[in-house]
Structure 1
Amino acid sequence: MVKTLSLANRVAQLKPSPTMAIDSKAKALIAQGNDVVNFGAGEPDFDTPENIREAAIQAINHGHTRYTAVGGIEALKKAIAERIHLDTGLHYEPDEILVSVGAKHSLYNAVMALVNPGDGVLLPVPYWVTYPEQITLAEGVVQYVPIAPDHDGELRVEDLEKVVTHASRGLMLNSPSNPSGVVIRPSVLEEIAQFAVAHDLWVISDEIYNRLVYDDTVHASIARFPEMRERTLIINGVSKSYAMTGWRIGYAAGPKHLIKAMASLQSQSTSNPSTISQYAALEALTGPQDEVDAMRREFDRRRRYIVARLNAMEGLAASTPQGAFYVWVNMAAWKGRQVGGRVIRDADDLALAWLEQANVAVVPGSGFGMPDYFRMSYATSMERIETGLDRMEQLLESAE
């Protein structure tokens, strides 16, 4: 008889990502021949720009296929420092930057380097699905911070004051937000910075969508405010702005001693990220930026359309995202009704009804901490957006 291996408790506590779960189910249906419109995945539908692809080919041809320093090649770290300076006005040295295997890896390194067992980490709701799982892996305590309804999804100091305790050690920020698309205004960020200093909190600032903002929205980094640079870790990467999700290059910028600790962790896990991808990322950051602007303009066009269509549907309320490429939709008015033969209790039920009856995939908000909402990505073509919205609307119109 073969003995079943017992697993570590930390693995048993992990919850599967709902964004990946819905995407996997949609792809399974597609594999069976179903025409599924997938609003689930969080990656641009554009190809990686040609100059970036060519840089990767040149890297291979020039023999850049061996290990690099654990934290990335020096040229890439200098390019990252310059990009951060352009975006925020902040100056970082190469030894204050760590290149990792995607921004998620950067976040993991940061949480493992900062969170001790029992440490409280303030986490605004809604949150990206991975944040609480990483904090839990580090044996930290997730301190969920509900945002008051009259704040329109924007975190305020008043929300934080209701949750902070003597055990609080840090704060996770994500602006522009996944899933809501909310961008925290600079004036509000300054107040949050003062709160962080007063409570001696470190801040992980996930700014992966910082170049995808719309209208007159201004993105700012909390690290720019007084006394914050030394207590803030900026997380970013090339995946969203340059359509490079599969290249797996993320980075962190922050205090030298923290970056050194994160690099030590990385040296014992992945070591350096892909050498070829690093050279591609170098071209992304230093080469022409016109395709970034073109992608943002197309996302903007889709954003306006999808929000207008959703708000025209019975019982749905979509807020207009200021950044990223997601729309966050309140479906509470449908609770208790039947859609596609299914009684709707929350967004999970509505998402299943759309997937099973209309071949449309959206991500329910339960994984983001708000079960009466769902997230839709508009990182797909306008044609597919129109088709998907038509199917969603038709199923709702047939509801009992």
Structure 2
Amino acid sequence: MAHLAERLNNLGSEGAFEVLAKTKVLEAQGKKIAHFEIGEPDFDTPENIKKAAYEALEKGYTHYVPSLGVPEAREAYAKYVSKTRNVEVDPGQIIVTAGAKPLIFYTMMALVNPGDEVIYPDPGYPIYSSAVRFAGGVPKPIVLREENNFRLDVDELKRMVTPKTKVIIVNSPHNPTGSVLNKEELKAILDLADGEHLFILCDELYHRIYYNGEMAPSMYEFPEAKEKVILMEGFSKIYAMTGWRLGYGVLPPDLVPWFSKLQTNVYSHAPAFVQVAGIEAYNGPQDAPKAMVEEFKRRRDYIVPRVNSMDLVHCVEPQGAFYAWLNIKKLNRPSNEVAEYLLNEAGVAVLTGTSFGESGEGYLRMSYAASMEDIKYGLDQLEKYLPKLVK
């Protein structure tokens, strides 16, 4: 093999896709698997959105468009953020991306020089730290602790900020724990940024998958966020559009041309007809996403008491997203060993806690974007097989 660039050694991966590949091999061998590994709604994209994509193709949205996005899509997405956060957003702040994930890399490539520090949640989405390292930055994990219901401790965060800190990453509702920050906590974090030397990357992909109201509190509800915050939004979770790869960012105005240049260099722009389908997602009926969230809540309300009735595991009730973060410390075994055992012996596919950072040791992530039949079967299997692991 040719000598590869050293920077490739800084890239991480996503455990969900690795476990998914293993489950496909086991299923091909005839083994029944309860799928709790993948963070993907088990619903189809609503019909009105699919129809809008077909119509966009017929209308000729099959050519190049500006790197920042289709103008009418940027306008619709800005109106949506303005409405849901009750703050004025200009379409000129919007960059439409192929999924929200590019925004993590664009942020690091635009703002982080070698040696600069980035604070991010641990446990947390693994691409955060991967992108920081790839940019040559210094990852500084802030541990989310069970005694604080896995909410970021603002006082601890304040102590971690140094003159070298360039970005703070906030994710609420949170993957993998389901924790949600309140408005006071979000405001206190926002106050740490100046929009010149220190910015906040706010991941709100699960903003509407919230169980204590229609939408979770948002950092972008504060007017000063416009100059300090890169807001990540998208369609994958709330509209069951994971395969469409459609996301967008709301950017401080000064960063817009630089993110546009990055996007031009990487893949030019997100597919035009998909961007148009996103307009229909926001402007069309909202019955399907509402029903999906109600179903996720029904599943959560079944899973949490059931898990907490078991002797060897327990979990904090998630307030948003669609994950249960199972504490398995009583088993006294490494998380990856438990996850492998459950997959191969019990037919239960979960993610090891360490897929989300070092502080995930002693935990497993269970996605309840799965049918109730799978959930009941999987929990039955946990009750049956977990006692066999006790040392």
* Superposition TM-score tier, normalisation by shorter sequence: over 0.9
* 1:356 to 1:148, Cα distance in 2 relative to 1, 3 A: closer
Mapped contact 2:12–2:126 kept (Cα < 8 A): no
Q: How many residues align?
A: 388
Which residue matches 1:394? 384
* 1:282 to 1:55, Cα distance in 2 relative to 1, 3 A: same
CA shift, 1:287, in A, is: 0.8
Q: CA RMSD in A?
A: 1.7
Equivalent positions of 1:279-358 (< 5 A) are 279-335=276-332, 344=333, 346-358=334-346
2: CA distance between counterparts of 1:128 and 1:84?
Answer: 23
CA shift, 1:200, in A, is: 5.3
Counterpart of 2:320 in 1: which secondary structure? coil
Runs of 4+ in 1 over 6 A off after TM superposition: none
1:146 aligns with 2:143: yes
Describe the superposition over 1:249-303 as per-residue Cα deviations: whole angstroms up to 9, x where unpaired: 0100021221221110000111111122112111111111111101000010001
2: CA distance between counterparts of 1:28 and 1:260?
Answer: 45
Counterpart of 1:196 in 2: which secondary structure? coil
2: CA distance between counterparts of 1:149 and 1:381?
Answer: 27
Mapped contact 2:99–2:246 kept (Cα < 8 A): yes
Mapped contact 1:365–1:372 kept (Cα < 8 A): yes
1: CA distance between counterparts of 2:176 and 2:52?
Answer: 32
2: CA distance between counterparts of 1:247 and 1:312?
Answer: 39
Describe the superposition over 1:5-36 as per-residue Cα deviations: whole angstroms up to 9, x where unpaired: 11111112223322222222112222333221
Which residue matches 2:157? 160
Specify which of 244, 247, 253 is matched with residue 247 of structure 1: 244
Equivalent positions of 1:7-18 (< 5 A) are 7-18=4-15
* 1:226 to 1:69, Cα distance in 2 relative to 1, 3 A: closer
Q: Which amino acid aligns with 2:345?
A: Q
Counterpart of 1:204 in 2: which secondary structure? strand
Counterpart of 2:160 in 1: which secondary structure? coil
Which residue matches 2:367? 377
Describe the superposition over 1:338-372 as per-residue Cα deviations: whole angstroms up to 9, x where unpaired: xxxxxx2x211111110010111000110212111
CA shift, 1:235, in A, is: 0.3
2: CA distance between counterparts of 1:147 and 1:285?
Answer: 33
Gaps of 5+ in 2: none
**TM-score of the two chains, using structure 1 as the length reference:** 0.93
Mapped contact 2:190–2:228 kept (Cα < 8 A): no
Specify which of 64, 71, 74 is matched with residue 74 of structure 1: 71
Mapped contact 1:186–1:219 kept (Cα < 8 A): no
Gaps of 5+ in 1: 336-343
Equivalent positions of 1:170-181 (< 5 A) are 170-181=167-178
CA shift, 1:398, in A, is: 3.8
CA shift, 1:216, in A, is: 4.3
Which residue matches 1:277? 274
**TM-score of the two chains, using structure 2 as the length reference:** 0.95
CA shift, 1:192, in A, is: 1.7
CA shift, 1:134, in A, is: 0.6
Q: Which amino acid aligns with 2:374?
A: R
Mapped contact 1:311–1:317 kept (Cα < 8 A): yes
Q: Which moved more, 1:173-182 or 1:270-279?
A: 270-279
CA shift, 1:218, in A, is: 5.8
Counterpart of 1:223 in 2: which secondary structure? helix
Equivalent positions of 1:77-92 (< 5 A) are 77-92=74-89
Q: Which amino acid aligns with 2:29?
A: Q
Counterpart of 1:300 in 2: which secondary structure? helix
Q: Which amino acid aligns with 2:110?
A: A
Specify which of 176, 196, 199 is matched with residue 202 of structure 1: 199
* 1:40 to 1:149, Cα distance in 2 relative to 1, 3 A: closer
